[in-house]
Amino acid sequence: QVQLVESGGGLVQAGDSLRLSCAASGRTFSSSTMGWFRQAPGKEREFVGFITWNGGRTYYADSVKGRFIISRVNAKNTVYLQMSSLKPEDTAVYYCAVGAGTRPAGYAYWGLGTQVTVSS
């Protein structure tokens, strides 16, 4: 079993940067792909990106490519989402998850999320 806790969300202005953290408990973290998703009000949960177990590969949605970077420190059981050049359309609750791929169904464990609000 893995428990995930996201943090670092907040209210920022367009063009600002923000770093989200996801702290994991459980022995499987260091061997697991970690994904980030987001969900805006009234919309489906949307893939943001993932990072493989050793950080060797990252993959991003087109909507965030070039602006967001995912990294991880396995010794700290933590994965990060560095967001830059934020836009109002990035406003959402951001979730980290353990699993694989680009669809929510591929992820078994989820955090409760952290709210990111970008004002114009």
- Give me the tens of pLDDT residue by residue for the chain, a chain 120 residues long: 889 999 999 999 999 999 999 999 987 888 899 999 999 999 999 999 999 999 899 999 999 999 999 999 999 999 999 999 999 999 999 999 999 999 999 999 999 999 999 999
The pLDDT value given to residue 108: 94
Q: Quick one: how many helices (H) and strands (E) in the chain?
A: 0, 11
**pLDDT at site 24:** 95
Q: How many residues does the chain have?
A: 120
E strand or H helix at 75:
none
pLDDT of residue 14: 98
> What pLDDT does residue 30 have?
85
Distance of CA 43 to the CA centre of its chain: 17
Sheet strands side by side (includes 78-83): 3-7, 18-25, 78-83, 68-73
Q: What's the CA gap between 26 and 39, in Å, rounded?
A: 25
pLDDT for 97: 97
